[in-house]
Amino acid sequence: MPSHTDKNRYWGWALAMGPIAAWMWFAAQLPAISAGDKLKFGLNWLPSLGLQASFALDGLGLLFALLITGIGALVLIYAGYYFTPHTSHVHPTSHPPASPAGFRFYAYILLFMLCMLGVVTAGDVITLFVFWEGTSIVSFLLVAYKYKDAEARRGATKALVITGGGGVALLAGLLLLANVAGSTQLSEIMAQAAKIKASPLYPVIVGLVAMGAFTKSAQFPAHHWLPNAMSAPTPASAYLHSATMVKAGIYLMARLSPALGGTELWFGLLVGAGFITMLLGAVKGLFQQDLKAVLAYSTISQLGVLMMLIGWGTSASMKALAVGTLAHALYKGAMFLMAGIVDHSAHTRDLPDLRGLGLRQTMPRTFAITILPALSMAGLPPLFGFLGKETLLAAVAEHSVTPLGVGVVLAGALTLAQAAMLLLDTFSRPKANAKNTLHPHDPQLGFLLGPAVLGGLSLLIAFDWLLPAGPITSLVASAAKAAYGDKVKVNLALYQGINLPLMLSAVAIVVGFGIAQYRHWLRRRLAKVWLLQPVRLDAAYRAFLQLLGDGGRLATNLQSGSIRTYLAYMFLGFGLLTLWFGAWQWPRNVNLFLIEDQPLQLLRVFSVLLAVAAALASVIARRDLTAIIALGASGLGVALVIALEPSPDVALVQVIVDILTTLILVLAMGRLPAQMRDTAYKIERQETWWVRVRNFAIAGGAGLFMFMLCFNALSSRPRTSIVTPYYEQQSKPLTGAADIVGAIVVDFRGFDTMIEITVFGVAGSAIYSLLRYAAKKHGDDDDEVRELSDAAPIMTLTSRGIGGLVPSAMVQMAAKLVLPLSIVVAFVHMIYGHGRPGDGFTAGVIVAIAIGLMNLAFGHAETFRRLPWLRPGYLIGSGWLIVMIGSLLPMLWGQPFFSPFDFGVWLNLPLPYDASLSASFLFEIAICFTVIGSASWMLQTLSKF
C-alpha cells in the first residue's frame, strides 16, 4: 500500500506528463519553424481598445518553450522526491515540508510554467506584459514558500519589489513603444524599427524596457535580489532562478533587439550592464559559503554574458546567445538539482561542512552524475558548455581582442574555478582532520533522473554537428535569426581549426585551473575586499523601503481628522489650481447689476436675498433653536427661487424637505441636554480672534472660489440645451406624462430614482439601527432606558409629547385631523402627479410630517398604538417590492425593464379623468411608501431615543 509520501512521487510523475506532451508538441514544430514558418494565434480581447491577446511562435520562442516544458517536466518529477522526507534520518526537523505542502508547490510550478510559456509565445506586448507580471508573482510565492521563515519572506519581498518595480517601468516602456510603432503587435513593432529609432522617445523607451529586463534578469545593480531568492525550494531555484524566469529579461531584450537594437545607446547600456554583471557574479560567486549562493552568482554572471551578447548585436553574438542560453539552462539546471539532492541527503549546503560526498560509502552515483554538468559549466570539451564559451569568444573576438575580450576570458576562467570548487569541495576526499558528522547516502534513482538527463544532454547535443541536419543546429539558427532579424549561419562543430577563439578558450582554461588550484586562498582574500561586500546595495534597497514607510506615515499624519485642516487644504488646492490654469478672467463690458427685463425678476432678487440673509442669521443667532428656524427660512427662500423658475413641483419638494429637515433638527437638538449646548456656545464665545480670522479666511476663500466658478459657468453657459428638447418632445408620447420633470424622474431616469429611494430608505433604517444600538450600548439616561424597556407599561407614556410635556387638547385634535387629510392629499398627488405639480415623494413626506405631528402630540408609543399600520421597515420594503414588480411586469409583454406601461389601458379599467394606472403610477406609490417609512422612521427614532 503506498503511503502518502509515495503518493507525492506518483503525483510528480503524473503531473510531468502534461509538460512532456507540450514539449513533444513544441519539438514537432521545429522543422516548420526552422524552415521559416511562424505560428500565429489571436484572440480578440478588448477590441474596443484595439487589444488582442495574440500568440506567435518563432525560433527564439521555440528555444525557450522547449527549455520551459522540458526542464519543467524534469523539475516536477524531481520535486516528487524532493518533498518526500526520507525515513532513515538524523534530523527529521530540518527537512522540507512533506506532501500537503508539496501540492502547493506543484500548483505554483504549473502556474509558473503557464506564465512563462505565455511570455515566450506572446505575439503582442500587452499579452507579454501580463504573463511577465504573472511570473514575478509566482516567483514571489515560491521564494516565500517556507513562509514561516523570516528570511524567506524578506527575500520574497525583495524579489517582488525589484522585479515588480521593473515591471512597472516595462509597462510604461512597452506602451510608449506600442504608441510610437502604432501597434501592440510585436511583428508590427519589428517592421517599424526605423521609425522607433528615429523617435525622440527612443531613449526613454530603451531605458524603461531595459529597467524591466535588467531587474528581471538580475543585472547590475538590480542583481542582489537573486541570491536572496535562494530561499525558495531548490527545484524552484533550479527552474525559475536559473533556467527560465531570470532568462525572461534576456528573452525580452533578444526579442526587441531587431526593433530597438543597433544603436550606440543600446550597445552601451546592455554591454555595460552585462559586462559589470558578468565580472561581479564571477568574482562574488567564488567566495560564497552556500552551494546555492555560488550557483546564484554564477547564474548572475552568465546572465550578464547573455545581456552583453544582445547588446553586441552581431550575427555571431546572437548565435552565441542562443547557444549560451541552451548550454547554461542545461548545466545550471542540473547543478541546482544536484545541490538540492546534496541538501536533501546531507542536510547542509555549506561548502565548508561538505566534503567527501563522492566516497564509496556515501554518494558515488550522485558524484558521477554531477561530473558532466560541472564540466559543461567549466566550458571543457567535449561538452555543450564548451561550445557556449567558444561561440561567445568568437563573437567577442570577431574583430580584435578588446578589454571586453579580456574580461570575458577572465569571467570564463572564474566560472571554471567555480565549477571546480562546486565539484571538488563537495565530493572530493575530506581532509584528515575534518569532522564528519554527516551520514549522507545516494538517493533513489528517480531523484537523480533530472540532473542525469540534463547532464547527459549537455554531452549529447555537443555532437549534434555529426548529424546531417542536426536539430540543435537548426534550433539555434532559427533562434539566432529571430534575435538578429536576419539569417545567421550556424556551425556547431566542436573543433573548427586553430583560431583565435580556441586560443582564448585555452587561455581561459589554463587560468581557470590556476584559480581553482588557489581557490581557498583566493576565497579568504576576496571575502575581505570592501568593494564586494553585499551591504551597500542592500542598504539602498532598505532605504527605499524606509522611504515608502515614511511616505505612509506622512500621509497618515496629514489625515489629522480635523475638518478645518481638510477644508483648508481643499480650498487652498482649488484656489491654486484656478490660478494656475488661469481659468478665470474678470468679465469685461458686462453690466454686473443688470437685472434683465423679465417678469418677477425683482421677486427673484428678493428671495435670493432672503435665503442669504436667513442663512447669515443662522450663523449669528444666539440660541440653537433660532438658528434652526433661520435655516428653515433660508431653505424656504431657496424654494421661492425654484418656484419662480417656474417649477412648482421642485419648489414643493424643497418646501416639504425643508420642513422635514427643520423638524428632524429640532427633534435631534431636543434630545441633547441643554447644558451641553450651553457649554458649546460658551466655548465658541471664548475663541481667540485668530481662530475667528482663520475660519473667516477659509470660508471667504471658499466663497471667492465658488463665486468665480459660478459666475464663469453662468456667463458662459450655452443658452440652448441639447438634451432638454428631447425630453420635452418625448415625455408625453413615450410616458404619457405631461409633467416633464416628473417624466424624467420616474420614467426616463427611473433607474436613478429607484436607487435614490433605496438610499433614502437605507438612510431611515440606518438612523434607526444606529440610534437603537447607541441607546442600548450607552443607555446612560434613566428616562430613556425606561422608555426603551419593553416591560414598561405603555399607559404611563400615553398622551405624552416631546420632552414628556402634555400638549394641549387643541394640538392633539389637530394632529388627529391632519393625518387622514394628509393621506387624501398624498393620494391626489400621486394620481395626478404626472400632469400637475406633486409626486410620490411629496406625498410620502406630507404623510410623514402628519405622523410627526402625531408624535409631537401623543408621544411615539401612543402614535404606534394608534397607527397599527405604521411599520416603517415593512413600508420601505414594500415600496421596493412594488418598484421591482412595476418595472419587471412590462417585461412579460416583451417590453424592456422599466418601460412605461399603462396597466389601466391594458385592463380596460374605467378610470377618472386624467388618471392612469401606468407603471409610473406604481412607481409613485412605491416612492410614497418608501418615503413614509423612511421619513417617519427618522422622526420616530429621533424623538424616541
Residue 660, interface with other proteins (CB under 8 A)? yes
Q: Shortest distance, CB of residue 16 to other proteins, whole angstroms?
A: 52
Site stretch for other proteins (CB under 8 A), options 354-362, 482-490, 598-606, 809-817: 598-606
Residue 584, interface with other proteins (CB under 8 A)? no
User: CB-wise, 78 or 760, nearer to other proteins?
Assistant: 760
Residue 650, interface with other proteins (CB under 8 A)? yes
Please report, for residues 351, 377, 431, 836, the alpha-carbon distance to residue 832 in angstroms, rounded to integers and kept in the order given.
93, 91, 106, 6
How many chain residues interact with other proteins (CB under 8 A)? 115
* Residues in region 836-865 near other proteins by CB under 8 A: 837, 841
Site stretch for other proteins (CB under 8 A), options 124-132, 573-581, 762-770, 882-890: 762-770
For residue 210, the tally of other CB atoms under 10 A from its CB is 27
User: CB-wise, 492 or 882, nearer to other proteins?
Assistant: 882
DSSP string, 244-309: SGGGHHHHHHHHHHHHH-SSHHHHHHHHHHHHHHHHHHHHHHHT-SBHHHHHHHHHHHHHHHHHHH
Encoded amino acid at 243, one letter: A
Question: Dihedral of the CA atoms 681, 682, 684, 688 (nearest 10)?
Answer: 170
Q: Shortest distance, CB of residue 49 to other proteins, whole angstroms?
A: 32
CA angle 348, 370, 21 (to 5 degrees): 105
Residue 698, interface with other proteins (CB under 8 A)? yes
Among 696, 751, 874, 906, which residue interacts with other proteins (rule: CB under 8 A)? 696
Among 1, 535, 554, 594, which residue interacts with other proteins (rule: CB under 8 A)? 594
DSSP string, 635-695: HHHHHHHHHTTT-HHHHHHHHHHHHHHHHHHHHHHHHS-HHHHHHHHHHHHT--HHHHHHH
Q: Shortest distance, CB of residue 885 to other proteins, whole angstroms?
A: 22
Site stretch for other proteins (CB under 8 A), options 88-96, 366-374, 633-641, 793-801: 633-641
Single out the residue of 937, 746, 729, 731 nearest to residue 829, CA to CA. 746
Among 111, 201, 460, 763, which residue interacts with other proteins (rule: CB under 8 A)? 763
Single out the residue of 67, 57, 385 nearest to residue 245, CA to CA. 67
Please report, for residues 57, 328, 337, 415, the alpha-carbon distance to residue 295 in angstroms, rounded to integers and kept in the order given.
31, 11, 11, 10
Residue 728, interface with other proteins (CB under 8 A)? yes
CA 611/CA 604 separation, integer angstroms: 11
* Residues in region 205-244 near other proteins by CB under 8 A: none
CA 99/CA 9 separation, integer angstroms: 9
User: CB-wise, 228 or 855, nearer to other proteins?
Assistant: 855
* Residues in region 149-188 near other proteins by CB under 8 A: none
* Residues in region 900-939 near other proteins by CB under 8 A: 934, 938
Residue 629, interface with other proteins (CB under 8 A)? no
Count of alpha carbons within 13 angstroms of residue 836, beta-carbon side: 7
Residue 590, interface with other proteins (CB under 8 A)? yes
User: CB-wise, 113 or 746, nearer to other proteins?
Assistant: 746
DSSP E strand stretches across 744-880: none
Residue 889 neighbours by CB under 8 Å, 6+ apart: 901, 903, 919
φ, ψ at 807 (rounded to 5°)? -70, 165
User: CB-wise, 528 or 778, nearer to other proteins?
Assistant: 778
Among 179, 289, 724, 796, which residue interacts with other proteins (rule: CB under 8 A)? 724
* Residues in region 701-720 near other proteins by CB under 8 A: 702-704, 706-707, 710-711, 713-715, 717-720
Q: Shortest distance, CB of residue 736 to other proteins, whole angstroms?
A: 10
Single out the residue of 509, 487, 505, 481 nearest to residue 495, CA to CA. 505
Among 7, 86, 104, 677, which residue interacts with other proteins (rule: CB under 8 A)? 677
CA 386/CA 390 separation, integer angstroms: 6
* Residues in region 28-57 near other proteins by CB under 8 A: none
Q: Shortest distance, CB of residue 907 to other proteins, whole angstroms?
A: 25
Q: C-alpha grid cell for residue 289?
A: 559559503
Among 506, 577, 609, 792, which residue interacts with other proteins (rule: CB under 8 A)? 609
User: Does residue 915 sit in helix, strand or coil?
Assistant: coil
* Residues in region 533-572 near other proteins by CB under 8 A: 559, 561, 563-564, 567, 571
Residue 738, interface with other proteins (CB under 8 A)? yes
Residue 668, interface with other proteins (CB under 8 A)? yes
Residue 608, interface with other proteins (CB under 8 A)? yes
Residue 680, interface with other proteins (CB under 8 A)? yes
CA 511/CA 513 separation, integer angstroms: 5
